[in-house]
Chains A and B, each alone.
Chain A
């Protein structure tokens, strides 16, 4: 009764959005609408949102769709990459690469035919997931990437999403399919320029085909005052290798839902993450690695440095389904708290239903070692530099897993700008 009487915040929120103009299947649109009508924004009573309040997102009064500025973005990670730029979820052809190499198909969703659009929504379920449902029913645009079988892509693909203005909500949807025996590197950059109270709600569905090799570097660098919820649903077919590096460097509230379904045998999965927080940032990483097939391995390493009154959340879940024997799954989460008002909530979980497995997880929370700092200071290194050195060493092993030099260079430049850390 109470629920009906109480004003549904979600209904109020979506009333300000304009329905999608993309031709998704009726079925998908319908189930998204039902999901939105029957749910509200999640509260901390919901286990998956225990540590994250979305009230500030719910409070946004979304501005009507306005014309996009199409001004060039100051954020380019790799200038040689095939680049596709989106502003507030809308595609900007003038800033995007026009020549696309043979064997791959990249286009914005608005140029996709019905068959291509029918791929969308197969992995990311809308039932009970209001952010995914909202992303369907009110989708702006997004990128459709299909890499044909046996294609080895030398150039990186770069998706740049930029938020501008005030109270803009971007429902940004991507689909990535790496064909059999293909290899590709994709950079996803989420930025903002003169934006405030904007919300990007991103859903990316990724299929890694047989023997494919796919690496994704994701950089989240939206200014304070903006909100970001990202949902990635990955499916791995047999013998494939999938790597995702998530770098969260700014943003008032960032939530990452990363779910990897390993459905094929002999797969390798790598998940790496760095989150560097200060002021009153809130970053929440939820990862699920679901081993449904035998003979696979997964490696997960997330590290965080939390300063000021920021809060970080890590929830990593590893499932090993029945009969998924010979699984090696390793998960590790380490955190450094730099200030007394910083908070870390860590919840590494294992759910194992097969016996011939090696699984472990570890989680640590602590601070920089005073003795190590003393050691450095005794050698004439200033306290500030000593601390930077320690932090750099701490996150160094995660950054070391990023193979793309352009991404690394860019990350270092942000670390210098935002945190004054020079490594």
Chain B
């Protein structure tokens, strides 16, 4: 008997979350709840300068006056913001001088995640910043990067050591007033990564951050700021996992990218937060604000593989401010069981001859809902702006949904905008074709899914592409071989 789609659906349903372990590390936690004193507590813990505390408090005031957005095509129980621990750090949060000082338990965690630093150091040459719960634990390859003048460190370290740089750029792309979760993040963010590439430097290795929520009842609020100075290049990777829990945990991050003249930033995400069990219990709420700004001739490229989270609400965007700047967005979003994803991008064309490309591939299975929501906005001065968007959705099973909500706003007559979307299931004739040639149904589905995502996976850096393929394989276990 061949492998039918029903069986595939069943396999998908039964597939277990591989990263669902909890690491037993004592952690230093703030009391539950959110008020001014908690913010002062966080700021104090981090020994932050006065301006940052003021920034946080101002954001908190703004956040209090905001209401949670409800326009996304997702349904969930609103998180109780007073029931979350806003600060949780692994107890020995002293700075590690070298890799050997790191807690062995933590090392084991990393090894389980497949990011054994030693191995990576040796084999791949990727510099990793590891953020557990709220605090950056270890950053590798720092000295080597230092030689080139590249700053790659945890956000709190950057606040201490490079306050001018942080102060100058922080909140310029995603202001604290931007939205509900950005404001919350600005008030309570605990750590994250900071990266600065000096003028004309091409970063020789991939920079990577690994985020993990470990402690129960906590929220993770990290902030990433990448500044690529004139003529520089950087490829940045981000990965995330969390343990299996019955509760819904909140992850509200802010990522800001700044690409100055002629600079290029490539930002890749493999997101694999715990998606909840097959009854839809538990899982991470992933409410993330990601945005980049391009100056003249600059380029920002977002690539994301989204397989985890119970609810995703994420729109990595590009503001194409400078002339000739380029924005790209490549996304694969897989939802299964009761997962819900509302994801997409915004391309804001302000400068002349700006170009943007959007390739979005959605795969829905089980009882999940997968939406693409995007905005392409051509402003009056954006002469000869060009956009191409393609949003495809693949449906597996008759209980899931796939939706597309593109917004196209054009105020310039020399702009060219194309948008295309299709929704379908895997064609029976395609499977038949493979069967005819002696390829099993399971293999055939895997082949088709892989081919379907190829355009996006090809954009990922080598190391990540392998991981992403593995993730797809797990997410669609039984079908991808």
Q: Name which residue of chain B comes closest to A330, CB basis.
A: B422
Asked if B420 and A360 make an inter-chain contact with CB atoms under 8 angstroms apart, the answer reads yes
A360 to B421, CA, bound (A): 5
In angstroms, how far is the closest chain B Cβ from the Cβ of A227?
23
B397 touches A365 (CB 8 A): no
Is B22's beta carbon under 8 Å from chain A? no
Question: Quick one: CB contact mask for B400-416 with A, threshold 8 Å, 1 for yes?
Answer: 11111111111111111
Instruction: From the candidates B380, B404, B410, B416, name the one contacting A361 in the complex (CB within 8 A).
Output: B404
**Interface 9-mer from A57-65, A232-240, A339-347:** A339-347
B interface residues, tally (CB under 8 Å): 36
The CA-CA distance from A344 to B409 in the complex, in Å, is 6
Residues of chain A lying within 8 A (CB to CB) of residue B398: 322-323, 325, 354-356
What separation, in Å, do the CA atoms of A337 and B403 have in the docked complex? 28
Q: Give the distance in Å from the alpha carbon of A364 to the alpha carbon of B387 in the complex.
A: 10
> Counting chain B CB atoms within 10 Å of each CB, which of A337, A344, A350 scores highest?
A350
Asked whether A44 is an interface residue with its Cβ less than 8 Å from the other chain, the reply is: no
Contacting residues, chain B, for A354 (C-beta < 8 A): 395, 398
Given A339-B413, A347-B405, check contact A357 B424 (CB 8 Å): yes
Q: Given that A322-B398, A355-B396 are known contacts, is A343 also in contact with B410, CB under 8 Å in the complex? A: yes
Q: Which residues of B contact A340 (CB under 8 A)?
A: 380, 412-414
Report if A347-B408 is in contact (Cβ < 8 Å); known contacts: A340-B380, A340-B413, A366-B415: yes
Inter-chain CA distance A342–B414, complex, in Å, is 11
Complex interface: chain A residues within 8 A of B401 (CB): 351-353
Any chain A CB within 8 A of the CB of B47? no
| Closest CB in chain B relative to A102 CB, distance in Å | 47
Chain A: which residue is nearest B393 at the CB level? A352
Q: Is A349 an interface residue (CB 8 A)?
A: yes
Of the candidates B395, B405, B408, B424, the one whose C-beta lies within 8 Å of that of A365 is B408
B413:A364 contact, CB within 8 angstroms: no
Closest CB in chain B relative to A311 CB, distance in Å: 9
Q: B413 to chain A: which residues have CB within 8 Å?
A: 337-340, 342, 367
Residues of B within 8 A of A366 (CB): 415-417
Task: Please tell me if B54 contacts chain A, counting CB pairs below 8 Å.
Answer: no
* A363 adjacent to chain B (CB < 8 Å): yes
B470 sits at the interface (CB 8 A): no
Asked if A47 lies at the interface with its beta carbon under 8 angstroms from chain B, I say: yes
- Residue from A325, A344, A348 within 8 A of B421 (CB atoms): A348
Q: Which residues of A contact B421 (CB under 8 A)?
A: 348, 350, 360-362
Name B395's closest neighbour in chain A (CB-CB). A355
B51 interfacial by beta-carbon distance below 8 Å: no
Within 8 A of B (CB), among A315-349: 322-323, 325, 335, 337-349
Judge if A359 is at the interface, Cβ distance under 8 Å.
yes
B417 near A352 with CB under 8 A, answer no
Judge whether A125 is part of the interface by a CB distance below 8 angstroms.
no
In this assembly, does A358 line the interface, its C-beta being within 8 Å of a C-beta of chain B?
yes
* Chain A CB within 10 A, most for which of B393, B400, B403, B413: B413
* B417 contacts A365, C-beta separation under 8 Å: yes
Q: CB < 8 Å: which of A322, A323, A351, A365 contacts B416?
A: A365
Main SS at interface, chain B: strand
Chain A: residues with Cβ within 8 Å of the partner, total of 36
Chain A residues within 8 Å of B417, by CB: 363-366
Collect the chain B residues with CB atoms within 8 Å of residue A367's CB: 413-416
Asked whether B44 is an interface residue with its Cβ less than 8 Å from the other chain, the reply is no
Residues of B within 8 A of A361 (CB): 404, 419-421
- B172 within 8 Å of A (CB atoms): no
Q: Report the separation of the CA atoms of residues A306 and B383 in the bound assembly, to the nearest whole angstrom.
A: 17
- What separation, in Å, do the CA atoms of A338 and B414 have in the docked complex? 9
CB-defined interface of B281-302 with A at 8 Å, one 1/0 digit per residue? 0000000000000000000000
Instruction: Judge whether B416 and A349 touch: CB under 8 Å.
Output: no
Give which listed residue, B71, B403, B404, B410, contacts A344 with CB less than 8 A.
B410
Residues of A within 8 A of B420 (CB): 360-362
Task: A358 to B415: give the CA distance in the assembly, Å.
Answer: 30
Given A338-B413, A355-B396, A355-B397, residue A349 in contact with residue B425 (CB < 8 A): no
B80 to chain A, nearest CB (A): 27
Least distance between A363 CB and chain B CB atoms (Å): 4
Taking A359-B423, A362-B420 as contacts, is the C-beta distance between A343 and B402 under 8 angstroms? no
Q: Is the beta-carbon distance between A350 and B402 smaller than 8 angstroms?
A: yes
Cβ contact within 8 Å between A356 and B409: no
Tell me the nearest residue of chain B to A353, going by C-beta. Answer: B401
Closest chain-A Cβ to B356's Cβ sits at a distance in Å of 13
The 8 A CB mask of B15-43 against A (1 = contact, 0 = none) is 00000000000000000000000000000
CB A379 to nearest CB in B, in angstroms, measures: 25
Q: Is the CB of A363 within 8 A of B422?
A: no
A337 touches B408 (CB 8 A): no
Q: How far is the CB of B211 from the nearest CB of chain A, in Å?
A: 32
A363 touches B406 (CB 8 A): yes
A338 to B415, CA, bound (A): 11
Which of A47, A325, A338, A352 has most chain B Cβ within 10 Å?
A352
Q: Check if B418 is an interface residue, CB within 8 A of chain A.
A: yes
* List of A residues within 8 angstroms of B402 by Cβ: 350, 352
Closest residue of chain A to B407 (Cβ to Cβ) is A347
Could you say which residues of chain A place their CB within 8 Å of the CB of B393? 350, 352
A47: B residues at CB distance < 8 A: 71
Q: Is B14 an interface residue (CB 8 A)?
A: no
User: Chain A contacts of B407 at CB under 8 A?
Assistant: 345-347
Q: How far is the CB of A109 from chain B (nearest CB, A)?
A: 38
Residues from chain B with a CB closer than 8 A to the CB of A355 are 395-398, 400, 425
Complex interface residues of chain B between 402 and 457 (CB less than 8 A to chain A): 402-425
Query: What 1/0 mask marks residues of chain A from 96 to 107 whose CB sits below 8 Å from any chain B CB?
Result: 000000000000
What is the 8 Å Cβ interface bit string for chain B, positions 342-362, against chain A (1 contact, 0 not)? 000000000000000000000
24 residue pairs A–B, Cβ–Cβ below 8 Å: A322-B399, A323-B398, A337-B413, A340-B380, A344-B410, A345-B407, A346-B406, A347-B405, A349-B404, A349-B405, A349-B406, A350-B421, A351-B403, A352-B395, A355-B425, A358-B423, A361-B419, A361-B420, A363-B417, A364-B419, A365-B378, A365-B408, A365-B410, A365-B416
Closest 5 CB pairs of A and B: A337-B413, A355-B395, A346-B408, A363-B419, A365-B417
Chain A interface residues (CB < 8 Å from chain B): 47, 322-323, 325, 335, 337-367
